[in-house]
Amino acid sequence: DQQVKQNSPSLSVQEGRISILNCDYTNSMFDYFLWYKKYPAEGPTFLISISSIKDKNEDGRFTVFLNKSAKHLSLHIVPSQPGDSAVYFCAATLTGTASKLTFGTGTRLQVTL
Amino acid sequence: EPEVTQTPSHQVTQMGQEVILRCVPISNHLYFYWYRQILGQKVEFLVSFYNNEISEKSEIFDDQFSVERPDGSNFTLKIRSTKLEDSAMYFCASSEVLRTDTQYFGPGTRLTVL
């Protein structure tokens, strides 16, 4: 089941620069997308989400972009901080039901000094 | 800030034994979920639960698994006869009735089956 894919297992970015994490999906029925951050030995923490009726959602340093035609979304973190170092999961779902979240495999972000 | 809690943080059991994983969802949330993550793999949906009924379950959630809300605060996942391949992190999550798309996760229980 590869409905949600994160093709980059890891990313290293310098503090203060932009981090861009990418996610692709194959199921065109998905209409709501989320990013979660996960530290070791903790559960996923909700970060930001976007509905398929939008192409951008911003919350502080975090912005999610959605390109429905390409079935692609990305998370931008500007400026990146050392505390942002974590594994980032993209997830997708179909709204209107208590639907399951379908997760990608995650991208490990390392923000270096 | 309200959060989902889970106990125990780590459970070790022998193959064939029954285990019960416990969760306390966020108090005003009425939808509850279990997910698991086998080491090195993605987080996978197991089951969703609302109004004392299963709303949806995955193919992983077979007859060995059951969920229950035994009282007003706890939500449990029972595995009747554990297998080696049940070893994983199990995450409980909850959401508001009108915002089931945004789910909040607990810290997880690491289940090790020997």
Dist CA B60 CA A100 (whole Å): 13
Structure tokens at B96: 């508001």
CB B28 within 8 A of CB B92: no
Q: What is the pLDDT of residue B98?
A: 78
Q: What is the pLDDT of residue A99?
A: 72
Mean pLDDT of chain A: 93
Give chain A's contact residues with B (Cβ, < 8 Å): 32, 34, 36, 41-46, 49, 89, 91, 93, 95, 97-106
Q: Which pLDDT value is given to residue B102? A: 84
Distances in Å between the Cα of A95 and the Cα atoms of A40, A47, B28, B98, B112 are: 29, 18, 20, 10, 34
Q: Looking at residue B65, what is its pLDDT?
A: 97
Looking at residue B73, what is its pLDDT?
Answer: 86
Q: Of all residues in chain B, what percent carry a pLDDT higher than 70?
A: 100
Nearest to B30 by CA among B97, B78, B107, B99: B97
User: Which of B 40-69 lie inside 8 A of A, CB atoms?
Assistant: 41-45, 48, 50, 55-56, 58
pLDDT in tens, A73-100: 999 999 999 999 999 999 999 876 667 8
Q: In A, which residues are within 8 Å of B100 by CB distance?
A: 95, 97-99
Interface with B, mutate which of A99, A102, A108 (most B CBs under 10 A): A99
pLDDT value for B100:
75
Interchain proximity B101–A42, CB inside 8 Å: no
Q: Is the dihedral of CA B46, B50, B54, B57 positive or negative?
A: negative
Tokens (6 digits) for A66? 């959605």
Residues A15, A111: Cα–Cα separation, whole Å? 6
The CA-based diameter of chain A, rounded to the nearest angstrom, is 43
Q: What is the mean pLDDT of residues A53-80?
A: 97
**Pairing relation of β-strands B88-96 and B109-113?**
antiparallel
Please tell me the distance from the alpha carbon of residue B13 to that of residue A44, in angstroms, as a whole number. 25
Which residue in B90, B48, B98 sits closest to B69, CA to CA?
A: B48
Phi and psi at residue B41, to the nearest 5° = -115, 180
Contact B4 A101 (CB under 8 A): no
Residues B38-54 have a mean pLDDT of 92
